Amino acid sequence: MDQIVRLDSRQEAALQAVAGKFIELHKGDAVKALKEMIVLNGHLQERLDVLQASRRRQ
């Protein structure tokens, strides 16, 4: 993850809404929600790495 993502105000508002819902799923515990998001992102990054490696081999 060596890329900085810049959001416009519409994207930022959408992200804020999704983040709020994700925290609600964790009964308002932002730290618990953040920990789960980190784990989920780790799993997604692993899958992306596998896909990129298989594309490089082709």
Query: How many DSSP H helices and E strands does the chain contain?
Result: 2, 0
- The span from the CA of 33 to the CA of 1, in Å, is 20
Q: Residues 28, 38, 18, 27: what is their CA dihedral angle, to the nearest 10 degrees? A: -20
pLDDT digits (tens, 9 = 90+) for 16-58: 999 999 999 999 999 999 999 999 999 999 999 999 999 888 7
Q: What share of the chain is helix, strand, coil (3-state, %, to 5)?
A: 80, 0, 20
Q: Whole-model pTM?
A: 0.66
